[in-house]
Structure 1
């Protein structure tokens, strides 16, 4: 009977554990997590949970009893001190655990503001864990002034929740436009107008010089010379993969923990999945920060541990909820050289189709689920419809399949 240890009790870790059981694995499974909670969903944290529309129990990926029912040992609120690939052991708390196969699903951590910029002041928050959200929840009082540093999806989701709760919201984005790293100007324009229509102030091409306060933040100095009064600050300037455990034992690192197409790291008995892992994709190496990828990678690894020897083929898709808009993204837009806009009869329903030459790369669909589903299928099947047909609202997209 073999032993499998999974380090990281998030979406990927939980998915790997239950998939192993579903595939008939009968050995021991130990799932180790730093947080005190059983594995839970992260996307609702900056949306429904922060709005108070979702109870903690409903965040859980599985009822806690499910782990016991499936003979999956949970070690929670624990930090792995070290691991030794040569001896195939992991040290956590006072225990030394042996493994035959080890899966790293260590996730990622938010990039913090430097202390020199006021990052260590009280009432400055990151948006990543359940504890983060619980700590900031009392700040969401109507009329409070919140500064959100970073105009990516996490920052904009937090801005939407803040505005819906009646706060005075300001977003600062150092790049020339919000969403610049992840979306075309057309998508940035759409969400800028959406937020401004709900009273959110957006500063683009403006950085944060420093936060002002002694002990607790009360202001912010921007790079354009403006000074803002603030009650609290939310920082959403990106995340970094948690690679320290792997790096410390010499596992190869490249934009995260490097894996092959099967999910195996440079050590033959150690695997990696989720936010922390990079993998081959279309003749390059990528790392995807998404729930579907965490599940897909983890389940592929479970299959390969059981002998499947199946390469993981990513099918990237993402989503974001802001106000009454659901953004759904299919594909990866890296390398696009034009965007085709397809309008819809329904208000605020529109889609942006990314092309590199004649090749369809990705679709941003705003309140346009049909366009998302068809675009996703086209991309996954390697089909690239004529952009003229996509732009024509009279075209029946289904006919392009």
Structure 2
């Protein structure tokens, strides 16, 4: 295949938005967008949210209409992932053995579900929900009589959202989580217990401090889940949500620095000045935090793909938004902003009505807000949290917790 000007390895949200930005910024060179799936770029949050619940039609979560790529002269190579990079020759190799040359290369290869290595892991009915196909199959099963008993292995965001969607179909759902609470590593014990109670109140069973030993079967079909204390949970379907692993093998094999993701500078440039990285796979230097941070959420792909594209064109600038994500569970909507390293906070301060599920929570390091979330506080939303984080001001905890003190008086 002839050379391209820009090759984008990874046809997800970050890669597709990078291609869009190249065109809107006036780039006229040949762009080739290469993906592993046989489906044009789409957004993944609906797989455990709106699409799984039957609220979001398929067409709504594609990044662009089908004719956009032809209209904007962006070549899509789908179902033919990049398998190798020849940095010296400036070309990539595809799974079918074909080669494509590049002047600039963007690695937006995303992440893959962490697999659970237990007996029965390959049974039909065990889902990881990382692609459209799995979400579609599970949605169909849930629609048909609730899908039978569902066990969710892992109390992270995807697991909790799947549990919420399944309860909406009337399925009997059990969450199995080895930590003391769901979201324990992300939110800590207090807010993790809040989410556990939300699920209990909606009829979901929550088993904490329990691991998964094996998946059981009858006649080759999934029938149950055995936990570490010997409990056997009936299950027609299982969703495993135990984290994700960045797809860094391409970069590592090419000799680029990999450290919890492909390491880049603030302009998404790797060790090689002609290779950039964005999205889930990139560990980007964040000036605000003065360290490298890797973020797996939707907003990060939406922001870093375009920013990397601009940097590839030489339009470099400080793109340093605060990490952000959102979740919808039952009648609860939340938004979260900020970041801190492991054990990087001292206390959680709550402002509002936790029992009524309308409040803010702030994570403080010393007296400074390093992260925060709101639950169903849509009048002001996440903006006050972001302002407090960026202010880096010492907080009076009493005022921070008092809903009668306006946020504008805190900074």
Structure 1 and Structure 2 fold alike (TM over 0.5): yes
Task: Quote the residue 2:183 is aligned against.
Answer: 179
Q: Which of 170, 174, 197 is the aligned partner of 1:170? A: 174
Does the Cα contact within 8 Å between 1:348 and 1:367 map onto a contact in 2?
Answer: yes
Choose 264-273 or 382-391, whichever is displaced more: 382-391
1:259 paired to 2:264: yes
Task: Quote the residue 2:199 is aligned against.
Answer: 195
Q: How many residues align?
A: 400
Aligned counterparts, 1:270-281, within 5 A:
270-281=275-286
Cα offset, 1:113, TM superposition: 1.6
Choose 294-303 or 95-104, whichever is displaced more: 294-303
Q: Which of 108, 115, 124 is the aligned partner of 2:111? A: 108
- 1:225-280 CA distance string (max 9 Å, x none): 21111111110011000011111111111001111121011122111001011122
Task: Quote the residue 1:146 is aligned against.
Answer: 150
State the distance in 1 between where 2:334 and 2:152 align. 20
State the distance in 2 between where 1:137 and 1:360 align. 39
State the distance in 2 between where 1:143 and 1:309 align. 50
State the distance in 2 between where 1:186 and 1:368 align. 19
User: Aligned pair in 2 of structure 1 residues 384, 302: CA closer, same or farther (>3 Å)?
Assistant: farther
Does the Cα contact within 8 Å between 2:106 and 2:275 map onto a contact in 1?
Answer: yes
- 1:341-361 CA distance string (max 9 Å, x none): 101499310111111111111
Task: Quote the residue 1:208 is aligned against.
Answer: 212
Does the Cα contact within 8 Å between 1:10 and 1:39 map onto a contact in 2?
Answer: yes
| SS of alignment partner, residue 67 of structure 2 | helix
1:25 paired to 2:27: yes
TM-score by length of 2: 0.93
User: Aligned pair in 2 of structure 1 residues 285, 346: CA closer, same or farther (>3 Å)?
Assistant: same
Task: Quote the residue 2:246 is aligned against.
Answer: 241
Task: Quote the residue 1:129 is aligned against.
Answer: 131
| SS of alignment partner, residue 305 of structure 2 | helix
| SS of alignment partner, residue 307 of structure 1 | coil
RMSD of aligned residue pairs (Cα, Å) = 1.8
Cα offset, 1:107, TM superposition: 0.2
Which stretches in structure 1 are left out of the alignment for 5+ residues?
none
Aligned counterparts, 1:214-363, within 5 A:
215-281=220-286, 282-334=289-341, 335-344=344-353, 347-363=356-372
Q: Which of 378, 382, 387 is the aligned partner of 1:377? A: 387
State the distance in 1 between where 2:313 and 2:355 align. 48
Which stretches in structure 2 are left out of the alignment for 5+ residues?
none
TM-score by length of 1: 0.95
State the distance in 1 between where 2:185 and 2:298 align. 19
State the distance in 1 between where 2:389 and 2:160 align. 27
State the distance in 1 between where 2:381 and 2:309 align. 33
User: Aligned pair in 2 of structure 1 residues 343, 228: CA closer, same or farther (>3 Å)?
Assistant: same
Task: Quote the residue 2:410 is aligned against.
Answer: 400
